Structure 1
Amino acid sequence: MDLILWRHAEAADADAGETDMERALTPKGHKQARRMADWLTAQLPEGCKILVSPAKRTVQTAEALGRKFKIVPEIGPGADEEDVLDAANWPNSKEPVLVVGHQPTLGQVAAVLLSSQPLDWEVKKGNVWWFVQRDPDDVYSLYLKAVMGPDMVMKS
């Protein structure tokens, strides 16, 4: 199974009266999302399932891909790594899964997958971490396929 973790791009601070869920991407964040979407478009298989937190900034990040996605409240701000892994059906999903979410959750997912420890690793804004587990019954078949940031994507 392929599990791709995409942290939302740069978002503005909440304005007066605005909730955390309403925070939108900044102009820089929109640029980051477009760059990563360009890279992901060239990499993702057609059948990839895309799961997105309901926060405005994650929805805007996912929209840059131009593909259908499902909003999953269980992976919103405050979710834990098990919530993300359960939503993705890790490691048993038959199709690749892209999760667009938040820190510290995505860093915790990465840490659990690679070290089996509940650590707070950082996934930078707009970055993608791509994991592959060839055999769902063999934890030793897990590897980190790619880590990519919007600043590493060539401008088109």
Structure 2
Amino acid sequence: MGVLLSEGGALDFILWRHADAEDGVPDDARKLTVKGEKQAQQVGQWLKSHLPQSARILVSPAKRAHQTANALGLEFEITKQVGTGASVKSVIEAAGWPDAKGAVVVVGHQPTLGRLAAALLSGVEAEWSVKKSEVWWFSNRSHDDETQTILRAVMSPEFL
């Protein structure tokens, strides 16, 4: 399998919602269910086979996000900037979008990831749904002196 990293040194911005988690409180202590562990492994295997080794991985402080990110088998950084209740602005700032180079994976939550996906594609935050353990892979490129956002892939565990 080939790496999906875009050409020209642009940023690949990969949104990965945490896998299925148990109900309960406190919210940040919720763990993945057996189904969620399977989802994380399936998507993590696919994602790892496509990511460049130098990818930055930013993970919410929530336990379910750590467990999801662990499926990649790569080092990651825990930051509140992508945690539960994070704003679209804080996630964009943490990732360095659109000016950073390379690939950044954000393991986070709804509704933030859906709002971010909407903002990246339409320029306006909206209540879009990113399903559990789903990956949305964006790239940016310059075309006619304009920066464009491209949706390169959407992957759900049920397709793996």
Output the TM-score relative to the length of structure 1: 0.92
Deviation string for 1:9-64 (max 9, x for gaps)? 000001xxx30000000000000000001100111011100000000000000001
User: Structure 1 runs of 4+ off > 6 angstroms?
Assistant: none
Q: 2:125 aligns with which of 118, 122, 127?
A: 118
Inter-partner Cα distance in structure 1 for 2:112 and 2:126: 10
Task: Name the SS for the 2:39 alignment partner.
Answer: helix
1:138 aligns with 2:113: no
Q: State the identity as a percent.
A: 52
User: Aligned partners of 2:73 and 2:82: how far apart in 1?
Assistant: 21
**1:22 alignment counterpart:** 29
Gaps of 5+ in 1: none
In the alignment, which residue of structure 1 is the partner of 2:13? 3
Residue of structure 1 aligned with 2:23, choices 10, 13, 34: 13
CA distance in 1, matches of 2:38, 2:49: 17
Aligned length: 149
How far does residue 123 in structure 1 lie from its aligned partner after superposition?
Answer: 0.1
Deviations 1:55-92 (A, max 9, x none): 00000000010000000112110111111100000001
> What is the root-mean-square deviation of aligned Cα atoms in Å?
1.2
- Are residue 102 (structure 1) and residue 112 (structure 2) matched? no
Structure-2 separation of matches of 1:138 and 1:111? 19
Letter paired with 1:22: A
1:73-128 Cα offsets, whole Å, 9 max, x none, are 12110111111100000001112100000000000000000001110100000000
Instruction: Show the 5 A alignment for 1:25-44.
Output: 25-44=32-51
Q: With the length of structure 2 as denominator, give the TM-score of the two structures.
A: 0.90
Letter in 2 for 1:75: V
